[in-house]
């Protein structure tokens, strides 16, 4: 039986058992996954997180749950989510992997950036000018940089 400490990072478990125990810091809940890995969460945190998910100690068995600790304002909190409800960390991890952009020569980079500057001038520059809105080179540079980043990813 491997114990996973949430301070070491998040984990997903297919929950097969939930037991209340007494730990070094008071009442705890032991979540056991189908691989034998266990996660201990304080009784207060476990109850409130499961309530938020409309689960209890019985209905959580058989669920795939994601456990994580977050730090906010100097305090540590435990979050439990259904595996299908992506947390911020999961969303980033689940984002489709992008193929690395092929290496470009400086001439190729300059050509792409020049196209981005031209596109920024033809779009936002023209629109702002037609609307009588004053703008400077920083607006064009910003728009060109946004286009360049998108184009080279």
Domain boundary among 74, 94, 114: 94
Counting the structural domains of the chain, the total is 2
51 and 16 co-located in one domain: yes
Residue 99 belongs to some domain of the structure: no
Mean predicted confidence (pLDDT) in 102-124: 87
Confidence of residue 58 (pLDDT cuts 50, 70, 90): very high
Residue 112 has pLDDT above 50, yes or no: yes
Residue with the bigger pLDDT between 104 and 140: it is 140
Residue 60 has pLDDT above 80, yes or no: yes
Asked whether the beta carbons of 6 and 68 are under 8 A apart, the reply is yes
43 and 81 co-located in one domain: yes
User: Among the residues of the chain, which ranges form H helices?
Assistant: 43-52, 88-94, 106-120, 126-131, 137-152
Residue 86 has pLDDT above 60, yes or no: no
Spatial separation of the C-alpha atoms in residues 66 and 80, rounded to whole Å: 6
Residue 103 has pLDDT above 90, yes or no: no
16 and 73 co-located in one domain: yes
pLDDT in the model for residue 150 = 82
Confidence of residue 18 (pLDDT cuts 50, 70, 90): very high
pTM score, two decimals? 0.54
At 26-45, the pLDDT tens digits run: 999 999 999 999 999 999 99
CA–CA distances in Å: residue 132 to residues 73, 122, 127, 138: 45, 15, 9, 17
124 and 84 co-located in one domain: no
Residue 133 belongs to some domain of the structure: yes
Which percentage of the chain shows pLDDT scores above 90?
A: 49
Residue 1 belongs to some domain of the structure: no
57 and 121 co-located in one domain: no
* Domain carrying residue 130: 106-152
pLDDT in the model for residue 99 = 52
13 and 85 co-located in one domain: yes
Residue 62 belongs to some domain of the structure: yes
pLDDT in the model for residue 88 = 45
Task: List all residues 6 or more positions away from 99 whose beta carbon is below 8 Å from its beta carbon.
Answer: none
pLDDT in the model for residue 148 = 85
pLDDT in the model for residue 90 = 44
């Amino acid at each position: 039986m491997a114990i996973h400490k949430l301070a070491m990072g998040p984990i997903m478990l297919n929950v097969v058992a939930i037991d209340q125990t007494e730990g070094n810091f008071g009442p705890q809940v032991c979540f056991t996954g189908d691989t034998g890995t266990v996660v201990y969460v304080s009784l207060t945190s476990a109850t409130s997180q499961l309530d938020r998910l409309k689960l209890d100690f019985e209905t959580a068995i058989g669920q795939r749950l994601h456990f994580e600790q977050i730090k906010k304002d100097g305090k540590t909190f435990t979050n439990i989510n259904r595996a299908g409800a992506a947390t911020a960390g999961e969303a980033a991890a689940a984002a489709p992997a992008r193929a690395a952009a092929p290496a470009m020569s400086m001439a190729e980079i300059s050509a792409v950036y020049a196209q981005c500057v031209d596109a920024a001038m033809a779009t936002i520059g023209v629109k702002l000018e037609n609307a009588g809105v004053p703008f400077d080179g920083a607006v064009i540079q910003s728009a060109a940089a946004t286009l360049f980043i998108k184009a080279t990813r």
